[in-house]
Every structure is written in C-alpha cells, then in structure tokens.
Structure 1
Amino acid sequence: MSDIYFEEGLENVFIDFIESLGYTYVPHQTIVRDSMKSPIASEVFEESLLRINPDLPEEVIEQTIYQVKNIDAGLLATRNETFFEYLQNGMEISHYTDGRLKTERVHLIDYKDIGKNSFIVTNQLTIKGKDTKRPDIILYVNGVPLVVIELKSMTSAMSDVSSAYRQIKNYQVDIEELFVYNAFNIISDFTTTKVGTITVNEAWYKEWKSIDGSYESTQYADYKTLLEGVLDKRRFLDIVKNFILFEHKDDGINKILAQYHQYFAVHKAVQSTKDAMAKGDGRGGVFWHTQGSGKSLSMVFYAAYLTKELKQPTFVVLTDRNDLDDQLYGQFSRAKEFLRQTPIQAQSRVHLHELLDNRTSNGIFFSTMQKFAESEEPLTDRNDVIVIADEAHRSQYGLREKISLDGQVQSGMARLVRKSLPNATYIGFTGTPISMNDKDTQEVFGQYIDVYDMSQSVEDGATKPIYYENRVVNLGLKEDILREIDRKYDELSEFANETDIEAS
C-alpha cells in the first residue's frame, strides 16, 4: 500500500479497483485511433456500433462514426451537449433505400443489455492539441472516452486534490477534443476523491458517499466508495442517461451531474410513486431534502425518470406562492431539453382544466394552490397524473374542514386538490421536517421516502453551517393584552382562508 505515496502507484491502485468492477485494462500503446489528436478508440467504436445496432446498414454506421468524430461547431460546452444528445437519446441518421429517404435511430450505448457494451480503462494516453498531454487514467465505453481521472500524490504540499482540479481545467484548454465526449471527471489525492463536470468550478466537484443509498457512514467515505458509486457498470450508464443535464442560463451552459443523495432519493421516489399507483391510494410519499441541497433539481430528475418509467404521465407542480411557482417553473424551463417537453404555467383554474382535459399523456404544468379554491369540480379523472407539491408540510395542504360563523363549510386546500384531481398520485417535496403531529400531511402524501437533513448537507458541503448566539429579550408584554390579541386573532380567522392564516 506504500505505492499510494507516488502518482504511478496511485494510478495502479485505481486501475486495479476499476478492473475489479469489470473493466478491461488495455495499454495505451494498443488503442487504435485515427491520429494522436483524436481521443476516440476508432476500432472499438465501430465494433460496438455494429454490435449494438446489428440490423442497420453499413452506410448508416459510417455516417454515425463521421458525425460523432466531427462535432466541430461552438464552444466546448456546446459541443459536449451535442454529443450528450447523441449519447442519451441516440442519433437520427437518414439514408436512401430503394429510392426512398429513410431515417434510422442509431444507439451509441445499449442501456438495457449492459453486457453488449465495451468498458475499457487505460492510462498515460498521449493526446495532441494546443499542447501534448497524457492524462493519468481514461475510461472508455464503446470506444468513447467518457471519464478522465487525474491523480496527485498526497505526500507533496503542492500536489493535492485542488491541483488535480487545476490540471483537469488546463487539459480542457490544451486537449479540448478529449472533453467533447466527457461525461464527468474524477480528481483524487487518495485521501479526498471528487467528481464533477466540465463546466463547474472546484466547489462543485463533490464526493460520492454511498453505493446503496444509505447515509449512515458517509463521513469517512474513501476513494473506493466514489469509484464503485459512479463507475459500477449499471449505475454508470444510469447516471449517464438519466442524471446528467445541461441547464441554459444567460451566462452560458451549466452541465449538472446529480449528487449521490439526489441519485438514490430519486430512485426511491420513482419506486414509491409506482407502488402508490399500483395500490391506488395516491400517496407517493414525502421527499425531505434540506434547503440548499438541490431539491428543485431533484424534482427535474424525478419527473424525467418517471416519464420514461410510466410511458408519458402528466405532472402538476403545486406551490403556495407566486414567487415559488416562478422559481420552479424557471428551473424546469432551463432543463426542457433534458425533459424533452416544455413546461407550462397555468394562468387560471380554467387554463389548468384546459391543459389537463385536452390531452391523454405528457405535460408538466405549474399552478399555485390558490387556483384550486375557485371550484371543487374535478379537473380530470385520469389516474396517471402525478402531483408534485413543494413544501408539503405547510398548513395549506390541510384536509380539515370547518364551519365559519356565517355557516359556510371551508375545506382545507389538500381536500380541494383531492376533489379536483381525485385519481392523481401525490408526492411531497420539503426542505424542512414534518411535525410528528402533522397527520394531514401524512394522510395526503404518506411516509418519508428519503431524508437528507441539515447535518448531512453541512457535512457534505452542500449547505453552509450557520452559527448563532441565543439571547433572551424581555419584551414586557402584559398578559391581558396578549389574551386580547389571541381572542381577536381567533375571531378574524373564522372569516379567513387557510392561505391568509398561514401568511399572517
């Protein structure tokens, strides 16, 4: 184990472990490429395409190879996004057969039959670009270099995980062609191992601390946990297809890789939703991930994954404030290419009814809770509607009914939503814990699906710790005045709806 104190020895330790995951080690000298400028293992690439797409004509395979090798237009992030569209969804290639133009879909990876794919690990491959470089380790899937690993010796004060990050960023300039095909990068000095994408800064290179969705032993996660966590063959391809997205903002393109807590929680949420639909009780569960841990992105990954699993369900995303509605709608809109559909904000209950009633599949619609107070008539009777409720613990989601002083029956918002979408399945996302006494929330959504609390988030660096000093201030309020305020508040609440009460 003394080898880990030297970079060459650390390379061997990593390669040995990656081989134990089922990858084949191939010396860099034997990898056949078109030139030293090209990072693609051309022979392996062609063989893989023929194996995965056995019924396609040779002409189509040749066009595919040419197109993948010549993604030339734009900046690195744009080129990488183009390639990822091919990688995640396949490529449409047109050709003439019997005098007619025909379009075929070519797949670069077989996501269903893992055994049909080639998994290769190599090291010290020389690549020419603006400069000549030799990355420590490269992982190939079907001849395409999807992962670059950069290692630094932990014995040098000047060589740590930060210097590995800087080396990766330099590579992205000097040998850009390698990163056109990149899924993610791994950096390590053995004591700390992190994973990140080509667009993120060092702060967003994160540790992967679980291989099974358990958070109990994440404080001391080592390099093996990350390597198995993201490079296990089945999970690796699942991450590539379903947990990497490109977000378009005014300042450019962000390539986002789900963090470990998002990956495992989304899988749990998808299964919980499918179970609830099979039982017919509509209670998909509560997804509690603390504020700052990427809850809104988890919703995006959840919606995209469930769309594939359930064959085009419809989603209604509920919030209790216009500003939250705008924020979530913005997040989903920035990921519309990944979702493969454009989200729509409902302008009124009538508009929401039109959106739901005029379709039998697909659709991601955003609405505030208040729109459901306008009527109790069903918006749709479909049973493949998924309601995603943000901040599911709030009192707006109550089931209780009460009678006001003027004799009117006032329904809790959850009851109104249930009447409007009687056959839907409900899943609640929240950043704060639900009270043990909150029976309404449990009645609507069910039990916790996954819990990623503040202490875990702070430990992972997703949330910054807050320190405060407790001080008691004696306001000197009189008891009779306080009782009068309470009495008046109770009186006014009889004429107010739950939204106004919560806001007060």
Structure 2
Amino acid sequence: MPNFISEDQIEQALLQRLQHVCGFDVLNCHTTDPADLNDGSGRMDKRDVLLPAHLTSAALRLNPQIPEPVVLAALARLGDRRQAMSLVAANREVDGLLRDGIAVNFEDAQGRQQQAQLRLIDFNSVANNEFLAVSQLWVKCTGISALADYRRPDVLLYVNGIPLVFVELKNSNVKLRSAYSDNLTNYKNDIPQLFITNAFCVLSNAIETRLGSLTGQWEHFFGWLRLNDEKEKIDRAQIAEAGTSLERLAEGLFQRERLLDYVENFVLFHRETNKILAQNHQFIGVNHALAQFEERNTHSAHDKAARGKLGVFWHTQGSGKSFSMVFYVRKIFRKLTGNFTFVVVTDRDDLDGQIYRNFLNTGTVKPQDAAQPKNSEELRKFLGQNKRLVFTLIQKFRYAKGATYPVLSER
C-alpha cells in the first residue's frame, strides 16, 4: 500500500511544481477570517473571483490601441455574474470571450469609429500572459441554495487574473470520488461565479488524479498520465505507489504553453449544454498530427513518398475518434491560414451520420459549409467546390467500370 500523503503535502508539492517547473507565480490567500479582504488578492468584494489588478494590467497591455475607459467597461462585462443564466450557458458565453475577445466600439484619436476584439489572453505568445497559482482563496457564496457562507478551493490556476482551472485535493487515504461528490458538486452550487470562467476541473488524492468539465459526471472524469507520446508505457501501479499522478498531470498539461493550447483548442461545447474536453491521447495525438500537417510539404524532392502524408492516428473502440477529428479540424481552421477542405470517409451510414452531427453540434462547421453527398455524382460535385468539410461513405467513390476516373479537385 502507498504511504499516507496528506492533503497539505499534496498541495505544497503541486505549488512547488507549478512554480519551479511550470513557470507560475504562487499566491497564498489564506486568512483566519473568511471575510477579511486583506488576503493579497486585491478584491474589494469577497463574492468576486477575478483578480482586478492582474486582469486590468493584462487587458491594457494586450490592447494598447483601445482607450482605457473602453477596456474597463469591457472588463465589467466579463465580471458580470450572469445570475439570470444557467451555469453552463454562462460558461459557454465566457468561453467565447476568452478565446475570441470582447467586441468593443470606440472613437480613435482622429475621431473615427473603430471596432475591435479586446483580447483577454494572448494565445500566440505565452510570455505576454501572467500565470498565477492561488491557494486557499475564500469566496463568499452566492448560490440561491448555498450550504455555507464561504467556500475555499484548494488551488486555482489563473491566467491574467482569470480563474481557468479548479483543483480539489484529498488525503491519499480518501476515495477520490468524494472530491467530486462532496466538494466540486457543492462548490458549483454555492459559488457558481467561480465556474463561469472555468476551463476544467482537477481532482486528486495523489494516488489518483482525474480532470473533467463542469458538466461532466464522475464517470466522465479521466486520468492524464502520458506526457509527450500517446504510446508511452505507463506503470500505473508504480505511479500510485509513489503518489505522483498529480505531478504527471502538471508536467503534461500545466506547462504554460500546453495550458493555453488546451484552453484555446481542446475545449468545446456539444449542443450548447455539454462541455467536452480532449482526453490525454487526443491532446497528444492531435498535436502530433498537426505537426505532420504543417510539415506536409517540407520533405525533400527525393523523398516523394513522404510528401503530403500525415500518418495514422490509431484509436481503440470508444476512445473518441469523431471528437479527435473535431479537435484536429478546429485547430487547423483557427491556427493556420489556407483554403482547406477535409474529407471524412467512413464505411457505415450510422458512423457517417454521427460524425457529421458532431461537427455540426459543436459549431465546428455550419450546415452551409459542410456537405454530406447523397450519391457518387454529388460527391464528385462537392469535391470540386470549396466546401470546408465533406462527409462521405467510401463506396460513393465508385465509378463506371472501365471508365477513366475524373480529377475530383485540382486542389
């Protein structure tokens, strides 16, 4: 059996790793009196979860072309607790603001009306952001049926004064499920304002570590043990014995560049009510596939066999093939310039329909930009157009026997 590891030991080990390995600053906000505003967070109201000085400084730095009063007004919109909305609807709305910025209008120095997207996070340059690990932050409860006056999460990961990651810890002899049932569930009920900006939640007792979304049930929370290769051999018994599961997650996901990549490209909403997160193998595999995509034309002339070939991303049954496709296509559309068409080829009607619906229901593609041809003739027509996505059965590539197969696309 593993040696006993206390919750405080786990917390201190995590903070040390975040600071010395992952590049975070660390702030302990514990006060004996939960109502004490002198906790180092700079908040003027304990109901708030945004760190005002950090947020304002980052927003002004990232948006020098936007007048300060306009920036401050936009940040007030971000800080709205959205109490009239469901938590998942509020989270989805703010997810869009974090990823794409807040739309603002202002008058420039020449008196001309301007429109811009006020950036809250610089996803293209890690160094332009501030990363802060905050421990023991008291938050005043605002939930209608709150079970307490205040709640104090163990660790929160902030980027530019915005809490993106919730971490709940337990002693190593406590079943991890209690962190979900007794803590995360109550926190969402009592301090919902904390989860409006939340990207994902982490639960750990060192022996076992899982992460999941605010809409996820316990069975949807998953582990994160592989660091750089989805084929890496994992000794789960040794990791449990040493109590290093949280350390592996921190190294694999909390490195600053990886965290920003995950928040930007590997979080999505399905049918607007279910938040989906990429699992360990999807994050690593999609990024490997993306690297191959970026290098598709760089092979030397004598290595013609390798030109344009991206390789194979192998999945087991039930491991999320269609969502891996979604994450892959979404990241290419967002991060790379080019007029790309993706052709998704399957051999079963039900699978073809499932993948098509997943792309639509996650907002990855709009119906007018996708195509699901009814027959071979329509497939050839769609491939000659600039559709962003074409979903087809492999048998629709059939052609008249003995006839020369036509060029489907010069692209």
TM surpasses 0.5: yes
Code of the residue aligned with 2:130 in structure 1: it is S
Partner residue of 1:329 out of 351, 356, 376: 356
Q: Distance in 1 between matches of 2:3 and 2:27?
A: 21
Give the TM-score of the pair, scaled to structure 1.
Answer: 0.70
Partner of 1:33: helix, strand, or coil? Answer: coil
Matched, 1:113 2:125: yes
Q: Distance in 2 between matches of 1:84 and 1:198?
A: 13
Shift of residue 340 of structure 1? Answer: 7.1
Deviates more, 1:310-319 or 1:342-351: 342-351
Residue equivalent to 1:261: 281
Partner residue of 1:140 out of 145, 148, 158: 158
Shift of residue 210 of structure 1? Answer: 1.4
Matches within 5 A, 1:200-215: 200-215=216-231
Matches within 5 A, 1:435-450: none
Q: Distance in 2 between matches of 1:423 and 1:320?
A: 25
CA contact (8 A) 1:4 1:190 kept: no
Code of the residue aligned with 2:11 in structure 1: it is E
CA contact (8 A) 1:160 1:188 kept: no
Partner residue of 1:68 out of 59, 78, 98: 78
Structure 1 residues 79 and 109: alpha-carbon distance in aligned structure 2, compared to 1, 3 A threshold: same
Shift of residue 271 of structure 1? Answer: 2.2
Shift of residue 207 of structure 1? Answer: 0.9
Matched, 1:85 2:86: no
Matched, 1:179 2:185: no
Partner of 2:120: helix, strand, or coil? Answer: coil
Unaligned runs of 5+ residues in structure 1 are 376-407, 425-504
Alpha-carbon displacement from aligned partner over 1:426-476 (angstroms, at most 9, x marks no partner): xxxxxxxxxxxxxxxxxxxxxxxxxxxxxxxxxxxxxxxxxxxxxxxxxxx
Q: Distance in 1 between matches of 2:232 and 2:310?
A: 24
Structure 1 residues 287 and 10: alpha-carbon distance in aligned structure 2, compared to 1, 3 A threshold: closer
Partner of 1:36: helix, strand, or coil? Answer: coil
Shift of residue 107 of structure 1? Answer: 1.1
Q: Distance in 1 between matches of 2:58 and 2:365?
A: 28
Matches within 5 A, 1:51-450: 51-70=61-80, 72=82, 73-97=84-108, 100-129=112-141, 130=143, 131=148, 132-155=150-173, 159-166=174-181, 167-220=183-236, 221=239, 222-248=245-271, 253-279=273-299, 281-307=307-333, 308-336=335-363, 338=364, 342-359=369-386, 363-374=388-399, 409=402, 420-421=407-408
Shift of residue 422 of structure 1? Answer: 6.1
Shift of residue 99 of structure 1? Answer: 5.6
CA contact (8 A) 1:247 1:253 kept: yes
Alpha-carbon displacement from aligned partner over 1:404-423 (angstroms, at most 9, x marks no partner): xxxx5489xxxx6xx54466
Shift of residue 282 of structure 1? Answer: 3.9
Q: Distance in 2 between matches of 1:116 and 1:3?
A: 41
Residue equivalent to 1:450: none
CA contact (8 A) 1:282 1:423 kept: no
Matched, 1:15 2:15: yes
Residue equivalent to 1:32: 42
Alpha-carbon displacement from aligned partner over 1:154-191 (angstroms, at most 9, x marks no partner): 23xxx321111121111011100000010111111111
Code of the residue aligned with 1:202 in structure 2: it is W
CA contact (8 A) 1:80 1:180 kept: yes
Structure 1 residues 71 and 345: alpha-carbon distance in aligned structure 2, compared to 1, 3 A threshold: farther
Q: Distance in 2 between matches of 1:278 and 1:118?
A: 35
**Greater RCO (Cα-Cα under 8 Å, separation 6 or more):** 2
Structure 1 residues 218 and 60: alpha-carbon distance in aligned structure 2, compared to 1, 3 A threshold: farther
Aligned residues: 376
Percent identity of equivalent pairs = 32
CA contact (8 A) 1:245 1:256 kept: yes
Structure 1 residues 4 and 30: alpha-carbon distance in aligned structure 2, compared to 1, 3 A threshold: farther
CA contact (8 A) 1:71 1:83 kept: no
* Aligned CA-pair RMSD: 2.4
Q: Distance in 1 between matches of 2:74 and 2:189?
A: 26
Code of the residue aligned with 2:134 in structure 1: it is T
Alpha-carbon displacement from aligned partner over 1:113-135 (angstroms, at most 9, x marks no partner): 11111111111111012331001
Q: Distance in 2 between matches of 1:3 and 1:101?
A: 64
Code of the residue aligned with 2:192 in structure 1: it is E
Residue equivalent to 1:48: 58
Q: Distance in 2 between matches of 1:133 and 1:9?
A: 21
Alpha-carbon displacement from aligned partner over 1:102-155 (angstroms, at most 9, x marks no partner): 211111111121111111111111101233100111111100011111111123
Shift of residue 94 of structure 1? Answer: 1.8
Q: Distance in 2 between matches of 1:10 and 1:274?
A: 39
Code of the residue aligned with 2:281 in structure 1: it is H
Code of the residue aligned with 1:301 in structure 2: it is F
Code of the residue aligned with 1:260 in structure 2: it is N
CA contact (8 A) 1:63 1:93 kept: no
Alpha-carbon displacement from aligned partner over 1:233-284 (angstroms, at most 9, x marks no partner): 0000000001111111xxx611111011011111121222333344574432
Q: Distance in 1 between matches of 2:201 and 2:119?
A: 23
Code of the residue aligned with 1:12 in structure 2: it is Q
CA contact (8 A) 2:267 2:277 kept: yes
Residue equivalent to 1:497: none
Give the TM-score of the pair, scaled to structure 2.
Answer: 0.85
Q: Distance in 2 between matches of 1:53 and 1:422?
A: 42
Q: Distance in 1 between matches of 2:274 and 2:194?
A: 18
Shift of residue 80 of structure 1? Answer: 0.5
Partner of 1:267: helix, strand, or coil? Answer: helix
Residue equivalent to 2:36: none
